[in-house]
Amino acid sequence: MKGRGLIWGVAVLVLVLAVAGCRTTKPSTTGKEYSGDWHNVVLPMKVVIQGNAGITASGRMTMVRDESVYGSVRMLGMELFSVFAAGDSIWAYDKMSGTLLSERLGNDPTTGRRLDIGRLQDLLLGVNGVPSEFAVDVWKFRIVFEAADTVSTPYGLMRVGWNADVEGADMEEEVRWNFEEARWNSEKVGTWKYPRSPKRIISGSGELLKWLGLNE
C-alpha cells in the first residue's frame, strides 16, 4: 500500500470509480450550478497523502467537456503517473514501474447510474447535483469523499477539491484544484499518449485491486 501512495492521489478520485460499490450521500451544497458552457479547462492541482505514505506532489488535470479527462502527477518536475478517461474506458500509467492499468468506467457512486465522461467531470468539479459527501466500497475498504470549499469561476461555483478518507488503511488525502491559474477554453490542450511499450498491463478490477494493494 505504501508503494502506491502517490497513485492514490489521483486514483482515488478517478480510477477507483471504475470499481465503485455501494454508496451513501449527503445533499449537495454547491450552490448555483455552473452553466456548462466551457469547452476545455487545464487545472493545476496539488495532491497531499497523509499516513504511512506521507507524500506531496503537484500536477494538472486537463478536461475536454464530455470528451476526456487527463491527469498528470509530477514530483521534482518529472511525471510519475498519469490517468486518462475517454469513451467508456479509463487508463492509468505508472511511469516508474512501467505498469499500465486498463478498465471500463463503472457506475456513478452518487446515483448508481452508468458513468460517462461528462458526469465524471461533474464529480471532479463537484457540480450539477454532486453531493458534498459520498462513499464507495472497494473490496474491504470504505472510501469517504468530502468536498472542499467552493470557489467562484467564470462558469459558476465549483469545488476547489476533495478530501478522501480510506477507512481501514490509515490513509487520508487531499486533492486541490488551483482555479486561480486555470486556463479555460484554450485553442489546444495537451493529450495523453498511449505508452509505447508498457512492461505490464493490468485489466480487470481483481488485478487492479491486487496491484493497488487493496486485497492484501
CATH number at residue 201: 2.50.20.10
Total-model pTM: 0.85
Higher pLDDT, 20 or 60: 60
Digit-coded pLDDT (tens) for 8-19: 555 555 555 555
Digit-coded pLDDT (tens) for 84-101: 999 998 888 888 888 888
Residue whose C-alpha cell is 487508463: 91
Digit-coded pLDDT (tens) for 161-207: 999 887 877 778 889 999 999 999 999 898 888 888 888 887 765 66
Higher pLDDT, 61 or 80: 61
The phi, psi pair for 163, rounded to 5°, reads -110, 140
pLDDT of residue 179: 97
User: Which amino acid type is present at position 62?
Assistant: T
Q: How confident is the model at residue 1 (pLDDT cuts 50, 70, 90)?
A: very low
* Distance between CA atoms of residues 128 and 134, nearest Å: 15
* Distance between CA atoms of residues 180 and 177, nearest Å: 9
For 9, the grid coordinates are: 492521489
Q: How far from the centroid of its chain's Cα atoms is residue 122's Cα? A: 11
Say how many domains are in the chain: 1
pLDDT of residue 23: 56
pLDDT of residue 39: 95
**Which residue range(s) make up the domain with 100?**
2-212
Look over the chain and give the mean of its residue pLDDT values, rounded to a whole number.
80
Digit-coded pLDDT (tens) for 110-148: 888 888 999 999 999 999 999 999 888 776 778 888 999
Closest residue by Cα to residue 32 from 110, 128, 120: 128
For 52, the grid coordinates are: 504511512
Contacts for 214 with CB less than 8 Å, ≥ 6 apart: 1, 138, 139, 140, 141
pLDDT of residue 135: 85
* Distance between CA atoms of residues 159 and 8, nearest Å: 19
Closest residue by Cα to residue 143 from 194, 214, 191: 214
Digit-coded pLDDT (tens) for 192-203: 888 888 888 877
* Distance between CA atoms of residues 88 and 102, nearest Å: 11
